[in-house]
């Protein structure tokens, strides 16, 4: 029995995916305009979200759905910790706090972990598949825009344990399709994947005020005027 979950997730999140790329912060990012302080805050929020998500997944590794699609080589917490040291120094933990939306996101992950852990898969899918796809392009843009050498400040996007990203994504999708779940559960996982997109969008939107202060309203307006058709979707399909 195939759940066809990978196909359902892909088709069921396309609109949210395009919407995420049309958030002003991301439109600026995709055009090569990245402010270092805003990017550090962006990664700081992700540190809190991934720490919570990965702890929740590890707790439920014996769950039939979570365990079947558990790949610890995806974990981002340690990579994000390296980035926090780069931006904030050794005392970084005292300097960062999750934003309001990040707190909402964390509380939602905690709620799912306590009530319907299978639905954590929707969040894992949205985050990790995005990081392995469009995220690789975002890393190159950040490295270039901020004139970073090597992976400094962008360790988050560096999957050292996954040298062949296309082969891994194929394996991940096969694991999704092999899940023995009913249509109701599959639909709920897709709904959570969309929820993950919108929570991520809200986290990014919170940073726009800081970005506008850094680059100016005129430049921000000119970079965000026209809609994106979904440029990282090409990367995601590969």
What φ, ψ does residue 142 adopt, rounded to 5°?
-65, -45
Is 105 labeled as ligand-binding? Answer: no
Is 125 labeled as ligand-binding? Answer: yes
The answer to whether the beta carbons of residues 84 and 44 sit under 8 Å apart is: yes
Is 127 labeled as ligand-binding? Answer: no
Query: Using the 8-state DSSP alphabet, how is residue 127 labeled?
Result: I
Q: CA 58 → CA 54, 62, 67, 85, 170, distances in Å?
A: 6, 9, 9, 24, 22
SS3 annotation, 24-71 = HHHHHHHCCCCCHHHHHHHHHHHHHHHHHHHHHHHHCCCCHHHHHCCC
State how far the Cα of 132 lies from the Cα of 93, in Å rounded to an integer: 27
Is 17 labeled as ligand-binding? Answer: yes
Give the pair of three-digit tokens for residue 234: 């090409």
State how far the Cα of 201 lies from the Cα of 195, in Å rounded to an integer: 10
Residue labelled with tokens 């726009």: 208
Binding residues for heme b: 10, 17, 125, 173
Binding residues: 10, 17, 125, 173
């Amino acid at each position: 029995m195939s759940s066809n979950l990978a196909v359902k997730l892909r088709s069921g999140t396309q609109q949210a995916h395009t919407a995420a790329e049309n958030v002003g912060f991301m439109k600026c990012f995709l055009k090569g305009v990245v402010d270092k302080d805003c990017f550090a805050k962006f990664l700081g929020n992700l540190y809190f979200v991934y720490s919570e998500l990965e702890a929740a997944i590890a707790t439920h590794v014996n769950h039939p759905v979570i365990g079947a699609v558990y790949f610890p080589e995806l974990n981002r917490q340690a990579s994000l910790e390296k980035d926090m040291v780069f931006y904030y120094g050794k005392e970084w933990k005292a300097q960062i706090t999750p934003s309001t939306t990040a707190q909402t996101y964390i509380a939602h992950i905690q709620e799912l972990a306590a009530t319907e852990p299978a639905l954590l898969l929707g969040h894992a899918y949205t985050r990790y598949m995005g990081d392995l796809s469009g995220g690789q392009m975002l890393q190159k843009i950040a490295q270039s825009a901020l004139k970073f050498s090597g992976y400094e400040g962008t360790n988050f996007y560096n999957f050292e344990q996954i040298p062949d990203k296309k082969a891994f994504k194929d394996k991940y999708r096969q694991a999704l399709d092999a899940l023995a779940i009913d249509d109701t559960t599959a639909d709920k996982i897709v709904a959570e994947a969309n929820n993950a997109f919108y929570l991520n969008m809200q986290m990014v939107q919170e940073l726009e005020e800081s970005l506008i202060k850094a680059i100016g309203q005129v430049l921000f307006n000119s970079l965000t005027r026209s809609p994106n058709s979904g440029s990282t979707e090409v990367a995601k399909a590969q």
